[in-house]
């Protein structure tokens, strides 16, 4: 990590190994798991938390706020520019603190409980089979991101929200634009696609009002009718679910496939015994932790974390990618699907822990087992070094995954 003007390490550090974490983070985790850093994007300073125990302390404490409008919140400069243009991406749930957050979370949680999500498994399998059948009919090579990893979670969210079949091609195009816009680095482009999606959600909400179905959007409209949600909140929540659940799962599918191709023993074991799916997915999530830019908070009271005083108003970045490779978790840099560590932080920790994690797990389990079994000769069509890795400093993943079979 290069030194900043105030002799502080700068964040983020440059990645040298696309599928590992920068060495600087490992060194910090060992020596100073809570440390002050200078932020490259937008300047300013924040605390960087790289240790597993310390990460849980911050994420599990009400003394740290998720409200990006609070002074001192370490918001990325790009997102700040977008919000200044009046089109906030994440105005709801994920950026709220208790007790306001608790009210929304209570409303949404029943939608993502295990019975409901396990009930969706056959539909997820059907969607995956349909996409893989189509892929199998093509002549290799093909891009697994465009043909499978991106459309699978998008179609699953369509099921959850109740997007009609006739709208799906349009929804797919729009959601793809929405989830890829942040990587373009253009605030204008982000605002444009966020607005396009909002207009679509408003139109869909109006149709659901006239003709309700057995879906989450129709239920949210019922909550709107009794005054539990405003119309804006319904639209924002729909947009959050798409954003939080689409690109995350898509990137994880791509990374999972690469990890398995790079570990043929693990791939063969999974192919032979689909019971290994749950452990495999946990290990993929831990090893290739998606949110590279860390989870962001601001302290609302003076608090000690790992013996370090963090003062009210100071920003904190919890680097779950580094914490997930902390020896305290019983696992480090190596990938081992038989370990199945469950208490990793890939879905966060505490009251903001991922609402859609059970759904993401089902999607990932179905995706990886289906590919392993239906494409026994799957291989990368280019050397690993040529796979285009996302490099926007926020999410980890691959832009394209050319494969043959």
Residue ranges that bind ligand HEM, judged by CB under 6 A: 66, 93-94, 105, 240-241, 244-245, 248-249, 252, 290-291, 295, 346-348, 352, 354-356, 359-360
The answer to whether the CB of 46 falls within 8 A of the CB of 314 is: yes
The gap between the terminal CA atoms of the chain, to the nearest Å, is: 40
Q: Among positive and negative, which fits the CA dihedral 113, 114, 118, 124?
A: positive
Q: Which two tokens stand for residue 192?
A: 């444009």
Give the shortest CB-215-to-ligand HEM separation in angstroms: 13
d(CA 110, CA 236): 19
Give the shortest CB-358-to-ligand HEM separation in angstroms: 9
The answer to whether the CB of 197 falls within 8 A of the CB of 253 is: no
Give the shortest CB-49-to-ligand HEM separation in angstroms: 13
Q: Which two tokens stand for residue 154?
A: 């998008």
Strands 64-65 and 379-380: unpaired
Choose between 250 and 403: whose C-beta lies nearer to ligand HEM. 250
Choose between 33 and 254: whose C-beta lies nearer to ligand HEM. 254
Report which secondary-structure segment, H or E, holds 172: helix 168-180
d(CA 42, CA 74): 9
Q: Which two tokens stand for residue 104?
A: 């929304």
Give the shortest CB-376-to-ligand HEM separation in angstroms: 25
Radius of gyration of the chain, Cα coordinates, nearest whole angstrom: 21
Choose between 183 and 252: whose C-beta lies nearer to ligand HEM. 252
Give the shortest CB-93-to-ligand HEM separation in angstroms: 5
d(CA 116, CA 110): 8
Q: Which residue is nearest to ligand HEM (CB)?
A: 356
The answer to whether the CB of 110 falls within 8 A of the CB of 352 is: no
Choose between 54 and 66: whose C-beta lies nearer to ligand HEM. 66
Give the shortest CB-152-to-ligand HEM separation in angstroms: 11
Give the shortest CB-204-to-ligand HEM separation in angstroms: 16
Tokens 């204008």 belong to: 188
Choose between 18 and 141: whose C-beta lies nearer to ligand HEM. 18
Give the shortest CB-216-to-ligand HEM separation in angstroms: 9
Choose between 175 and 248: whose C-beta lies nearer to ligand HEM. 248
Of 106, 28, 113, 40, the closest CA to residue 77 belongs to 40
| Total Cβ atoms within 10 A of residue 333 | 10
Number of alpha helices (DSSP H) and beta strands (DSSP E) in the chain: 15, 11
Mutual orientation of helices 168-180 and 231-262 as an angle, nearest 10°? 80
Choose between 9 and 348: whose C-beta lies nearer to ligand HEM. 348
Choose between 75 and 248: whose C-beta lies nearer to ligand HEM. 248
Give the shortest CB-5-to-ligand HEM separation in angstroms: 29
Choose between 381 and 389: whose C-beta lies nearer to ligand HEM. 389
Query: How many residues are recorded in the chain?
Result: 405
């Amino acid at each position: 990590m290069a030194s900043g003007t105030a002799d502080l390490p700068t964040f983020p550090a440059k990645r040298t190994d696309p599928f590992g974490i920068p060495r600087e983070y490992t060194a910090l985790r060992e020596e100073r798991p809570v440390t002050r850093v200078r932020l490259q994007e937008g300047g300013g300073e924040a605390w960087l938390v790289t240790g597993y125990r310390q990460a849980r302390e911050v994420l599990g404490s009400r003394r740290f706020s998720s409200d990006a409008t609070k002074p001192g919140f370490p918001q990325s400069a790009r997102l700040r520019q977008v919000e200044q243009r009046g089109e906030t991406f994440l105005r709801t749930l994920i950026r709220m603190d208790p007790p306001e957050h608790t009210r929304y979370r209570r409303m949404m949680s029943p939608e993502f409980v295990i019975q409901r999500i396990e009930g969706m498994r056959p539909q997820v399998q059907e969607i995956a089979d349909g996409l893989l059948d189509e892929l199998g009919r093509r002549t290799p090579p093909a891009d697994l991101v465009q043909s499978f990893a991106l459309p699978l979670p998008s179609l699953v969210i369509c099921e959850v929200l109740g997007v009609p079949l006739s709208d799906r091609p349009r929804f797919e195009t729009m959601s793809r634009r929405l989830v890829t816009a942040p990587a373009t680095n253009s605030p204008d482009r982000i605002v444009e696609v966020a607005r396009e999606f909002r207009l679509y959600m408003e139109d869909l909400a109006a149709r659901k009002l006239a003709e309700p179905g057995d879906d989450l959007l129709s239920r949210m409209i019922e909550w709107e009718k009794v005054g539990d949600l405003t119309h804006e909140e319904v639209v924002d929540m729909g947009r959050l679910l798409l954003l939080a659940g689409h690109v995350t799962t898509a990137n994880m599918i791509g990374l999972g496939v690469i990890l398995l191709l790079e570990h043929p023993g693990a791939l063969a074991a999974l192919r032979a015994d689909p019971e290994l799916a749950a452990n495999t997915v946990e290990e993929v999530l831990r090893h290739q932790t998606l949110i590279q830019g860390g989870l962001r908070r601001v302290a609302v009271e003076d608090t000690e974390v790992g013996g370090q005083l963090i003062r009210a108003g100071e920003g904190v970045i919890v680097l779950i990618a580094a914490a997930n490779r902390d020896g305290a978790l019983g696992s480090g840099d190596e990938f081992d699907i038989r370990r199945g560590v469950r208490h990793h932080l890939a879905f966060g920790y505490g009251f903001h822990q991922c609402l859609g994690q059970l759904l993401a797990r089902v999607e990932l389990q179905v995706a990886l087992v289906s590919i392993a079994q239906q494409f026994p000769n799957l291989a990368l069509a280019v050397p690993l070094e040529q796979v285009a890795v996302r490099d926007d400093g926020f999410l980890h993943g691959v832009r394209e995954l050319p494969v043959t079979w």
